[in-house]
Amino acid sequence: MINFTNTTFVKSAPNLANAPQGGYPEVLLVGRSNVGKSSLINALCNKKALAFTSSKPGHTRLLNYYNVDNKLYLVDAPGYGFAKGGFDLDKLFGEMMEDYFSKASRIKRVLVLLDSRRELNEDDVDIINFLIEKEIKYTLVFTKVDKINQSEKYHLLQSLKEIGVDEKEVIFASTLKPRTLEPLRSLLSK
């Protein structure tokens, strides 16, 4: 089992060419802005301010590499679906991802974060289809599950079943409920 508390920030990179040189497998977190990517990294690693979080969307602007126990890199990516004052984060994200996925061999898995309270939007579906097309392993992680009740969770699972998503590809997580983070830790350890 990986020791998640032994995690350190390595560097921020604008693109893959500037990614850290080192032979660890990479797990990339993607998802809409404000979905909770940075918060999830902090929660998994039991640190409060390893990754910077914000209630305002568009906070993470580069690929941020975290070395987890000298076993893997967790990579925090900018959120999609957010553009502000002419700064096109979607474009930046697209460019970075193209670069990233063109050398996909180091990517072991992509965690696609989705907000438990929201329906999947076009961007979410696009990225999932993109991962399927490129045959990159992925897991759907529904965040902020503390904000929904049992029946909402049930309906969410039903709607996923309807679009052909297997329950096994889905993890529910909340940074406020440490117990919910265990399945994700075991997945990453594997």
Ligand X SMILES: Nc1nc2c(ncn2[C@@H]2O[C@H](COP(=O)(O)OP(=O)(O)OP(=O)(O)O)[C@@H](O)[C@H]2O)c(=O)[nH]1
Q: Does 139 bind ligand X (CB under 6 A)?
A: no
Burial class (CB in 10 A: 0-12, 13-18, 19+), 104: middle
Kindly tell me which residue out of 175, 181, 184, 188 binds ligand X, with binding defined by CB under 6 A.
Answer: 175
Could you tell me which residues come within 8 angstroms of residue 98 by beta carbon, excluding any fewer than 6 positions away?
Answer: none
Kindly tell me which residue out of 4, 26, 28, 39 binds ligand X, with binding defined by CB under 6 A.
Answer: 39
What order of strands is seen across the sheet that includes strand 107-115? Answer: 7-13, 63-68, 72-76, 26-31, 107-115, 138-143, 170-172
- Whether the Cβ atoms of residue 128 and residue 118 lie closer than 8 Å to each other: no
> Least distance from C-beta 42 to ligand X, angstroms?
8
Q: Does 116 bind ligand X (CB under 6 A)?
A: no
Q: Does 64 bind ligand X (CB under 6 A)?
A: no
Q: Give, as ranges, the residues between 144 and 163 that touch ligand X (CB under 6 A).
A: 144, 146-147
Contact positions vs ligand X (CB under 6 A): 31, 33-39, 53-55, 57-60, 78-79, 143-144, 146-147, 174-176
